[in-house]
Amino acid sequence: MSSAQSEAFTNAPIDPPETPLPALTAKHGRSFWQIVSRSYFRRIKNQIATAYVVLLAVVAVIAPFIANGRPYTAVVDGKRVWPLFRMLSREDRIVLLAGVGFLLYLAVRFFTRKRPPETRTPVRRIALLILVVLGLVASGGIMWSMRHGDNNDLMTREDYKGITPDYDVQGAVFPPLSWGFQDSIYPQSPETQFADPSKEHWLGTDESSRDTLARLLWATRVVFGIGLISELISLAIGIVYGAFMGYFGGTVDILGSRFIELVESIPTLFLIITLVALLGREIYLIMIVLGLTGWTSIARFVRAEFYRLRKMDFVAAAHATGVPLTSILFRHMLPNGLTPILVNATFGIAGAVTIESSLSYLGLGVQPPRASWGSMLNAAGSPGGIFHFWAALAPGIMIFFTIFAYNIIGEGFRDAIDPRLNRLE
């Protein structure tokens, strides 16, 4: 140790050891989340379920780019156009930007992992800057192409494919699956409806001669969006509500609990059906209603956690350091009580998926021709009471596996957290 230090405190009895301590095995200490994630990913079922959900998320983001009836690019009447990008809706745009943003966030996290400032070298900063610039350029390009990529929104899949002779189309580059969620086989005939799987249509077709696989892929967006957005709304409300209830206790707690019971007494499914009947079919309405009614269980968990945590010494220590209340609640206490909340949220997503599928099955979900697994199931059975096996199989399996995967993730997460005390050593 430095001589200046021992000079400054000559009467200090603790002489720091002259030789450095033996190096730890890990460069940095492992945080709680690192320990949890390690034990979580040790189980193969957790790996599979997580991979499945990640795959679902990726498909949801890139669905327009892998299953689309319009080409990425083509030369129409001697002019180069970008029909697929032109077609992207506002939602597509938002989802895509969110996807790019998430990747950027991961990159930023990777380059600015918790380190003392002196280890942040210029190279890291430059790499980070390049990544950010690339992300901005990519999203800017997508936005630009939407406005300037095409000159004819009336062209159909058949026009680009050259099936109809109205346009002169050269060098069209199609996505791997050249069917969108609304492209019907041209020309339609009874043979093309509810067709069995074939080379062209791997999972067959539906009642309007649309490709089942394409619709299945597009429907992941609905499932993912419903689960995620409604759960985020629930989390935001539930955490803040439960935190104040648990921290302050007493009258706040009693009144808060009564209000939770009030909200819980509302039958969500019937509320949504009523609102859909009143305000029309709108997927966002369903998301918001699910979010506004689903927060109660989260609030209960948060309340219980905060009730336990508020008596902890480190909370008193944070108070004694002069940390403001909101910071104590959400920066110091929340991370310590987050695990049961996240487990609950995972199950909440599974619940939201179930409700959306039920609603769509009842014909109250997404607006046709938009696809959702529930509405695909409904279509497979409804016309004329004939059950179309292939049209029902794929969405049924997807609903099953998705809810199954979320439940496995929730359970795996819970198991990974529970015995943590044994693993800390």
Positions that interact with another protein (CB under 8 A): 1-2, 5, 8-9, 11-17, 20-21, 24, 28-32, 114-118, 247-250, 310, 312-314, 316-324, 332, 335-336, 424
**N-term to C-term CA, the chain:** 30
Q: To the nearest whole angstrom, how small is the minimum distance from the Cβ of residue 367 to another protein?
A: 44
**How many Å apart are CA 102 and CA 321, to the nearest integer?**
35
Residue nearer to another protein on the CB measure, 23 or 44:
23
Containing 172, the helix (H) or strand (E) segment is: strand 169-173
**How many Å apart are CA 391 and CA 152, to the nearest integer?**
33
Residue nearer to another protein on the CB measure, 244 or 406:
244
Containing 73, the helix (H) or strand (E) segment is: strand 73-76
Q: To the nearest whole angstrom, how small is the minimum distance from the Cβ of residue 341 to another protein?
A: 14
C-alpha distance from residue 227 to each of 128, 163, 172, 289, 359 (Å): 32, 39, 36, 12, 14
Residue nearer to another protein on the CB measure, 23 or 173:
23
Q: Which residues contact 410 (CB under 8 A, 6 or more apart)?
A: 343, 344, 346, 347, 350
Residue nearer to another protein on the CB measure, 27 or 147:
27
Q: Which residues contact 17 (CB under 8 A, 6 or more apart)?
A: 1
Residue 386, Cβ neighbours under 10 Å: how many? 9
Q: To the nearest whole angstrom, how small is the minimum distance from the Cβ of residue 22 to another protein?
A: 11
Q: To the nearest whole angstrom, how small is the minimum distance from the Cβ of residue 37 to another protein?
A: 14
Residue nearer to another protein on the CB measure, 117 or 165:
117
Residue nearer to another protein on the CB measure, 116 or 176:
116
Q: To the nearest whole angstrom, how small is the minimum distance from the Cβ of residue 128 to another protein?
A: 17
Q: To the nearest whole angstrom, how small is the minimum distance from the Cβ of residue 126 to another protein?
A: 19
Residue 212, Cβ neighbours under 10 Å: how many? 28
Q: To the nearest whole angstrom, how small is the minimum distance from the Cβ of residue 323 to another protein?
A: 7
Containing 20, the helix (H) or strand (E) segment is: none
Q: To the nearest whole angstrom, how small is the minimum distance from the Cβ of residue 423 to another protein?
A: 11
**How many Å apart are CA 408 and CA 425, to the nearest integer?**
27
Q: To the nearest whole angstrom, how small is the minimum distance from the Cβ of residue 10 to another protein?
A: 9
Among 90, 91, 84, smallest CA distance to 64 is for 84
Query: Which residue bears the tokens 């083509």?
Result: 74
Residue nearer to another protein on the CB measure, 11 or 121:
11
Residues paired with 73 in a beta bridge: 173
Query: Does residue 197 have a cis peptide bond before it, meaning omega lies within 30 degrees of 0?
Result: no
Residue nearer to another protein on the CB measure, 12 or 98:
12
Residue nearer to another protein on the CB measure, 153 or 425:
425
**How many Å apart are CA 314 and CA 317, to the nearest integer?**
5
Ramachandran angles phi, psi of 133, nearest 5°: -60, -45
